[in-house]
Amino acid sequence: MIQLQGVSKHFGPVVALNPTDLIFEERKTTVLIGPSGCGKSTILRLIIGLLEPSTGRLRFDGTVISTETILQLRRRMGYVIQEGGLFPHLTARQNILLLPTHLGRPREEMQSRLNELAELTRLPQDSLSRYPVELSGGQRQRVSLIRALMLKPEVLLLDEPLAALDPMVRANLQTELRAVFHYLNQTVVLVTHSMAEAAYLGDKIVLLRQGNIVQAGTFADLRDHPADGFVSEFINAQRRLVVS
Amino acid sequence: MKLLSAILVAILIAMSTAAAPQPVVIGSKKFTESYVLGEIAKRVLEEAGVPAEHRQGMGGTIILWEALTQGAITLYPEYTGTISEEILKTRGPVSLDEMRKELSRRGIGVTDELGFNNTYALVMRRERARQLGIAKISDLRNHPELVVGVSHEFLQRKDGWKPLVKRYGLKMPDVRGIDHTLGYVALANGTIDLKDAYSTDAKIAKNNLVMLEDDLGFFPQYRAVLLYRLDADPRVPAALRRMEGTLNNARMLQLNAAAEQTRDYSRAASLYFHETGPKSASLTSNIARWTTRHLLLVGLSLFFSILIGIPLGIWASRPGFMSRLILGITGLVQTIPSLALLALLVSVPVLGISPLTAIIALVLYGLLPIVRNTATGIQDIAMPLRESAAALGLEPRAQLFRIFLPMASRSILAGIKTSAVISVGTATLAALIGAGGLGEPIISGLNLNDHATILEGAIPAAVLAFFVQLSFDFLDRLLIPKGLQIRANSG
């Protein structure tokens, strides 16, 4: 679905991502994980076109991602960020319907899609008429998720969607996310720094460090056949954290 | 842009016709005698069946002469000395007939002398002059310690301070330029010892001043006449001729004194017609007229400031050279003193003395707060939200109109509010170039040294600024999206 060929990114002398080849498979959830500054968010931002690669090229469903194609491609992707990225001057409903209205999509169809997604994410109907400041953190992320899914995107991109939430809300939403992924059965790219989240949600895990892919595979692969000491250290560090 | 300029032209035509239903416009300089002569001319014309409007106190010689030649005014009172020295710039004295010949080549006619000679004079407090034993200008040679404060025009004139000093061989190092009317106050309280005056000035007797004898005959004759456009309605020169030779020095002095005493020029002018005079328009109707005009000036200029300022601000919100250039230039305009900006614009040939000039100055002045607040309002939008707008798949135009501008609305409105309040204050200066508004009573009051008249303009202007502020606070609630007005209720 999405393909990176020799893609690298540097900001002046600072390297964010070394030349990388990577394929995100259709209808699979791929998790990008690693310590801060490893390049995981950079990959996501390259896909949605907020960054342009320094070398190499990215393809989305065969189309090269470029400034000419990005506008159309963005409308085939959904993007959710840590704080939700909801516009404060619009209600939850207005946020969700912003793009569909702008593109002139039929109102009836969008309304039923909205109801379907609200039910799926367990978002209370009355919160739709509230402004972002009046919503809880968990509700904000649900609204953001609904906004990203409105136009039935082929790919859903999530950049640490749960990081800013408190643990209880986080656990609930994690469960719901998995249900949503199963229900929609679509291509998902998730960025996180939590191995537990990666193991729970991901079909495939890509572990990065300092702009390089260290290992890619299922959680079992990483756990049972770590490519090097860093992989087992990364898995164990998080496990210790859970135990202690 | 075509549509815009069409609107602008239409509005200005509407304004100018509203201001002058008939094309005869009388101008006057910024001092009592000129006001009174202007009022007399107005009455004389009206009695001859020619409706006339009097634009009081438009400024000095240059402004009035420009306005006359450009056709913004039809006539104004002038003095022979000024015509030869400042307008025609002749060497040595010329007769009125020679002036008439020269002026007609420029499309301007001149009446015969009205009668009195209002020459320049140097004046001192009577007591101080007696103390120092000064009676004539040549006596000043022995008193270089005296502090001199002369009007700005006198300081620059060819028959003014510098040639006078040369002619008399004076050595007075301490000379400052001071507003003519304020100079009398400075003279009275001893800040200055010596100033210039007009020989028919009522303030000379009133303030117990003494005129120094011009023993070398330096000052040219300043005989009052009226200058008018030769293409004016022929009834105009015919009517004006009735004023010739009717005003001697004593009579003019009396009218000037009456004007300063009653603070009412049209009543003083009525004395000329041997009447006690009708009461002029009531204060409330005057204030209403000034305020309406003021609001029109402020409203129009604000409208164009917004129209130009917001797009410039959007442009300036993108980092780079253009941003610095736009903010730099608009900031620079703000540093030009408003009076200097008006003077600069008046000297542009196509503009001259007109409400358009005042509006352009106000528009330029109002730009900076709007441009700066639009730019910073957009720049202050958090990065994740800008990226969300892009990542959602909105094209740049939609991002701007659906996201950035609404989110920056609070800042933009604050800029517009600042601009409006500044404009209410600055628009008082528009009266200097005859654009009217609440500056009219302020300038005449300043000229008469009359606080009551000043307040007739200053208080409504302050109240207006207050109401502008209030109505914008109300607009804030109306125009800023509701989501931006709610404070997060809890953590």
Chain A 31-70, residues with CB within 8 Å of chain B CB atoms: 48-50
Residue B441 has pLDDT above 90, yes or no: no
The answer to whether the CB atoms of A85 and B388 lie below 8 A apart is yes
Contact B390 A74 (CB under 8 A): yes
pLDDT at residue B211, as a whole number: 87
Q: Residue A113: its pLDDT value, please?
A: 94
User: Which tens digit of pLDDT belongs to each residue from B221-241?
Assistant: 888 999 999 988 888 888 888
Q: How far apart are the first and last CA of chain B?
A: 49
CA-nearest residue to A147 within chain B is: B392
Q: Whole-angstrom Cα distance, residue B31 to residue B447?
A: 6
Residue B204 structure tokens: 């000379």
Task: Please name the member of B385, B390, B487 whose beta carbon is closest to the beta carbon of A50.
Answer: B390
Return the residue of B nearest to A78 by Cα: B392
Tens digit of pLDDT for each residue in B298-357?
Answer: 999 999 999 999 999 999 998 889 899 998 998 888 888 888 888 888 777 777 667 888
d(CA B387, CA B404): 11
- Residue partners of B384: CB distance under 8 A and separation at least 6: A81, A82, A83, A85
Task: Give Cα B150 to chain centroid, integer Å.
Answer: 20
pLDDT at A79: 94
CA B351 to chain centre: 15
**Contact indicator for B138, B216 with CB cutoff of 8 Å:** yes
Task: Show residues of chain B in contact with A50, CB under 8 Å.
Answer: 387, 390-391
Distance, CA of A9 to CA of A16 (rounded, Å): 6
pLDDT: which is higher, A91 or B477:
A91
Burial-class residue A243 by CB neighbours within 10 Å (0-12, 13-18, 19+): exposed
Contact state of A49 with B389 under an 8 Å Cβ cutoff: no
CA contacts within 13 A on the Cβ side of A158? 31
Strand order in the sheet with A63-64: A14-24, A2-11, A55-60, A63-64
In the DSSP assignment, the letter for residue B150 is E
| Interface contact flag, B482 A99, Cβ < 8 Å | no
CA distance B387 to chain A (A): 7
Inform me whether the pLDDT recorded for B201 exceeds 50.
yes
When pLDDT is cut at 50, 70 and 90, the band that residue B434 belongs to is: low
Write b or e for each residue in A27-36: b if 16 or more Cβ atoms lie within 10 A of its Cβ, otherwise e: ebbbbbbbee
Chain B CB contacts of A135 under 8 Å are none
Chain B residues touching A85 at Cβ < 8 A = 384-385, 387-388, 391
Q: Measure the CA–CA gap between B242 and A6, rounded to whole angstroms.
A: 97
Other CB atoms within 10 A of residue B89 CB: 9
φ/ψ of B74, rounded to 5, equals: -100, -30
Contact between A89 and B394 using a beta-carbon 8 Å cutoff: no
pLDDT tens digit sequence for B66-119: 999 988 899 999 998 888 888 888 877 788 888 899 899 999 999 998 888 888
B394–A90 CB contact, under 8 Å: no
CB-based contact A99 B403, cutoff 8 Å: no
> Positive or negative CA dihedral for B399, B400, B401, B405?
positive
B487 pLDDT above the threshold of 70? no
**Contact residues on chain B for A83, CB-CB shorter than 8 A:** 384
Return the residue in B392, B394, B407, B490 with the most chain A beta carbons within 10 A, the one to mutate for interface testing. B392
SS3 letters across chain A: CEEEEEEEEEECCEEEEEEEEEEECCCCEEEEECCCCCCHHHHHHHHCCCCCCCEEEEEECCEECCCCCHHHHHCCEEEECCCCCCCCCCCHHHHHHHHHHHCCCCHHHHHHHHHHHHHHCCCCHHHHHCCHHHCCHHHHHHHHHHHHHCCCCCEEEEECCCCCCCHHHHHHHHHHHHHHHHHHCCEEEEEECCHHHHHHHCCEEEEEECCEEEEEECHHHHHHCCCCHHHHHHHHHHHHHHHC
| pLDDT of the residue at B2 | 53
Nearest CA in chain A to B407: A89
The pLDDT tens digits for A21-62 are: 999 999 999 999 999 889 999 999 999 999 999 999 999 999
Average confidence score pLDDT of chain A: 91
Q: How far is B452 from chain A (nearest CA, A)?
A: 49
**Of A87, A129, A140, which to mutate for an interface test with B (greatest number of B Cβ within 10 Å)?**
A87
Tell me the chain A residues in contact with residue B391 when contact means C-beta distances shorter than 8 Å.
Answer: 48-50, 74, 77, 79, 85
Using CA coordinates, name the residue in chain A closest to B489.
A134
B168-172, B197-201, B315-319, B378-382: lowest mean pLDDT where?
B197-201
Residue A181 CA from chain centroid, whole number: 12
pLDDT of residue B59: 82
The answer to whether B36 and B259 have CB atoms below 8 angstroms apart is yes
DSSP type of residue B169: T
Where is average pLDDT lowest: A174-183, B18-27, B180-189, B450-459? B18-27
Task: Spell out which residues of chain B touch residue A134, defining contact as CB-CB under 8 Å.
Answer: 486, 488-489
Beta-carbon separation of A75 and B393 below 8 A: yes
Q: What's the pLDDT tens digit per position in B35-49?
A: 999 999 998 888 888
Give the pLDDT of residue B20: 41
- The Cα B50–Cα A143 span in angstroms is 74
CB atoms within 10 A of CB B343: 17
Helices of type H across B399-438: 405-407, 409-426
pLDDT at B19 over 50: no
Residue B211 bridge partners (DSSP): B123
Q: pTM for the complete prediction?
A: 0.66
| Residue of chain A whose Cα is closest to the Cα of B488 | A133
Extents of the domains making up chain A? 84-152
If DSSP states are collapsed to H, E and C, what string results for A103-165? CCCCHHHHHHHHHHHHHHCCCCHHHHHCCHHHCCHHHHHHHHHHHHHCCCCCEEEEECCCCCC
Q: What is chain A's pLDDT, residue by residue, as a tens digit (244 residues)?
A: 899 999 999 998 999 999 999 999 999 999 999 998 899 999 999 999 999 999 999 999 999 999 999 999 999 999 999 888 999 999 999 999 999 999 999 999 999 999 999 998 889 999 999 999 999 988 999 999 999 999 999 999 999 998 888 888 888 888 889 988 888 888 999 999 888 899 999 999 999 999 999 999 999 999 999 998 899 888 888 766 554 4
Which domains does chain B carry?
22-116+222-273 (3.40.190.10), 120-211 (3.40.190.120), 283-490 (1.10.3720.10)
pLDDT tens digits, one per residue of B273-313? 775 444 455 778 888 888 998 999 999 999 999 999 999 99
C-alpha to C-alpha distance for A195 and B34, rounded to whole angstroms: 90
Contacts of A88 in chain B (CB under 8 A): 385, 407, 483-484
Which residue is it, tokens 């189309």?
A: A63
| Lowest-pLDDT range of B130-134, B444-448, B476-480 | B444-448
Residues 6+ apart with CB under 8 A from A227: A214, A215
Mutate to test the interface with A, among B387, B388, B482, B485 (most CBs of A within 10 A): B388
**In terms of pLDDT, which residue wins out, B180 or A6?**
A6
Minimum-distance CB partner of B483 among A74, A99, A133 = A133
